[in-house]
């Protein structure tokens, strides 16, 4: 298995400084700052990147499980909501809410929910967060 890499830099103090990040592959890059992370300003932040990684990972994990079960999906779409809260004066990711929707010929809602739960348990990003972040899942068929 390959090792993935990303880069980040930060220039200046925490509140007035700015940062940039990029994927080692060159597939994406972006800027971040104190306002984008803690004040809801337009732009990205580390938590949004974790949410994107989790959504992508769950989509792939669920698609793989459904395909192994003989019911390959036409589409799997996941939205991840990453919650950052202040705990004892320090920022902490406390919750990741995953909303997955799928178009899967040949299965019912209950089977899809079970497949999604199994995918959540096997998803490498879910496993990286396990024990530190409350991961909630809502799964529905389209």
Do 96 and 129 fall within a single domain? yes
10 & 75 share domain = no
Q: What is the pLDDT of residues 70-121, one digit of tens each?
A: 999 999 999 999 999 999 999 999 999 999 999 999 999 999 999 999 999 9
- Round to whole Å and give the CA distance between 29 and 83: 22
CATH number of the structural domain spanning residue 111:
3.30.300.20
Instruction: Name the residue range of residue 126's domain.
Output: 46-141
Query: Percent of the chain beyond pLDDT 70?
Result: 100
Q: Phi and psi for 22 in degrees, rounded to 5? A: -155, 150
How many domains are there within the chain?
A: 2
pLDDT at 1 over 90: no
Do 133 and 83 lie in one domain? The reply is yes
Predicted local confidence at residue 53, as pLDDT: 98
Give exposure, 91-101, as e/b (b: 16+ Cβ within 10 Å). Answer: eebeebebebb
Does residue 1 belong to any structural domain of this protein? no
**pLDDT 10s digits, 41-57:** 999 999 999 999 999 99
For residue 16, CA distances in Å to 33, 34, 47, 84 come to 8, 7, 19, 20
Does 87 lie in the same domain as 26? no
Q: What are phi and psi of 75, to 5 degrees?
A: -160, 140
């Amino acid at each position: 298995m390959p090792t993935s890499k990303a880069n980040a830099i930060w220039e200046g103090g925490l509140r007035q400084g700015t940062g940039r990040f990029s994927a080692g592959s060159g597939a994406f890059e972006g800027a971040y700052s104190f306002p984008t992370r803690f004040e809801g300003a337009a732009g990205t932040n580390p938590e949004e990147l974790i949410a994107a990684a989790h959504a992508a990972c769950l989509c792939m994990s669920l698609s793989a499980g459904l395909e192994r079960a003989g019911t390959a999906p036409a589409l799997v779409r996941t939205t991840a909501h990453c919650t950052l809260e202040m705990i004892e004066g320090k920022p902490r990711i406390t919750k990741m809410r995953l909303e997955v929707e799928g178009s899967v010929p040949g299965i019912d809602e209950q089977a899809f929910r079970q497949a999604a739960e199994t995918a959540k348990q096997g998803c490498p990003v879910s496993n990286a967060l396990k024990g530190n972040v409350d991961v909630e899942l809502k799964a529905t068929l389209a």
